[in-house]
Amino acid sequence: MLDFKNVWKSYKNGVMAVNGIDLHINKGEFVYIVGPSGAGKSTFIKLMYREIVPTKGEILIDGVNLAKIKQRQVPKLRRKIGVVFQDYKLLPKLTVYENVAFALEVIEEHPKVIKKRVMEVLDLVKLKHKARSLPTELSGGEQQRVSIARSICNNPSVVIADEPTGNLDPDSAWSIMEIFDRINDNGTTVVMATHNRDIVNNMKRRVIAIEGGMIVRDEQRGDYGYEA
Ligand SMILES: Nc1ncnc2c1ncn2[C@@H]1O[C@H](COP(=O)(O)OP(=O)(O)OP(=O)(O)O)[C@@H](O)[C@H]1O
């Protein structure tokens, strides 16, 4: 479902952040992206959801070449992809319900469908009872659960997460991982950049290690492989 073919990315300042990556991820896989700080993980993740485009090479999601699509087609592409960030990126003046509904309103989903789907995903992340709360009234773990609900509300084929547990205490981090696990069990591909050694070593999945913008290791049920 996701292919990188000889992908390179250099930034304007000359930094080569991704150096010739070839990769195939199957539908339904769960993949951790690990590596030292500055290794190129975030760049790799941003390429995947077309926040940035490669300097060279091709990235295909479900056969669609991300470099070839026009700017106006990007929202359509994003329907296939859910994105979760370390800092949640919720809209502070909107309630939990409205934050999730917003993702469906922008793709002009029918109001009846929106209501049903928002309550379904809030139920999945166990936050139905907080639907009327503002993000500032929630803990960090709860805010991240809202952001996951938002990322999956339009049934994407892949959820891409950049350090989703980076700001959370261990208990909240594990509750977030349980949700990702459940999403993956339902058939959604999950790609997650993380520095969380404990999680990678205890919830075994495919591990891709990046160093200097290159894949240096790719193992099924791998270890984190670096000191914490
Ligand atoms: N917008 C940018 N402009 C120029 N250089 C950048 C930009 N973003 C990242 N870089 C550089 O590209 C390289 C890879 O950065 P990236 O953020 O992808 O690493 P990372 O593995 O995600 O690091 P971390 O674990 O610290 O988040 C680094 O040398 C970084 O300084």
How do the residues of the chain divide into helix, strand and coil, expressed in percent and rounded to 5?
Answer: 35, 25, 40
ipTM for the assembly: 0.96
pLDDT for residue 106? 86
Instruction: Let me know if residue 173 belongs to a domain.
Output: no
The full length of the chain comes to 228
Residue 66 lies in a domain: no
**Closest CA to ligand 1's atom 23:** 38
Cβ–ligand 1 distance for 127 under 6 Å, the answer no
Is residue 96 assigned to a domain? yes
Asked whether residue 87 is domain-assigned, the answer is yes
Positive/negative CA dihedral, 9, 86, 129, 159: positive
Indicate the pLDDT class of residue 200, thresholds 50, 70 and 90: very high
Distance of CA 40 from the midpoint of ligand 1 (Å): 6
Establish if 225 belongs to a structural domain. no
From the list 114, 169, 161, the residue with the least C-alpha distance to 142 is 169
Q: What is the pTM of this model?
A: 0.94
Domain annotation covers residue 98? yes
Number of folded domains that form the chain: 1
Residue 163: pLDDT band by 50, 70, 90 thresholds?
A: very high
Mean pLDDT for 216-221 is 97
Is residue 202 assigned to a domain?
Answer: no
